[in-house]
Amino acid sequence: MSEQVEKKPRVIIGFVCERSLPIDQMMDAQKALVDDPETKIIVLPCSGMVKPTQLELALANGANATFVCGCAMGDCHYRLGNVFIKERLEGERNPKLRKNTDKRRVGMFFVTIKDKQPFLEALAAFKDKVAEIG
């Protein structure tokens, strides 16, 4: 008789610009991605509104990983929001991620409204990398 080990679901928290993806069509009533129920979404007007402490808080409260998704570079509705969050996560602009934050668990994606499938593929690749960390 073989025992089956119950696999605990991974929890991924995503902070998504409302203009980067057709995100309202991609979520269920519980704010999870329909194509990836492990991924919970927080929708914001602009990715530039995300502060690194929000990502750190998601990780500290049990998320296996977190990410920001903003408009494609050069296509931000608010001009530079995607540039600001990219620079913050890369440590080039304040506020930055704290030094003790596992940056391997923090992702960023910059897409256009037509990039649903490429986004889902990039998210799956990110989740695979996080799974390798353990």
- Average model confidence (pLDDT) for the chain? 93
Quote the pLDDT of residue 2: 47
Task: Give mean pLDDT, residues 83-92.
Answer: 97
Q: How far is the first Cα of the chain from the last one, in angstroms, to the nearest whole number?
A: 28
Rounded Cα–Cα distance for residues 125 and 87 (Å): 22
Structure tokens at 129: 């990398």
pLDDT at 8 over 70: no
In this model, does residue 104 exceed pLDDT 90?
yes
Q: Report the candidate in 127, 109, 129 with the shortest Cα–Cα distance to residue 119.
A: 109
Mean pLDDT, residues 106-122: 96
Residues 57-85 have pLDDT tens digits of 999 999 999 999 999 999 999 999 999 99
> Alpha helix (H) ranges present in 30-115?
52-60, 81-89
pLDDT at 48: 97
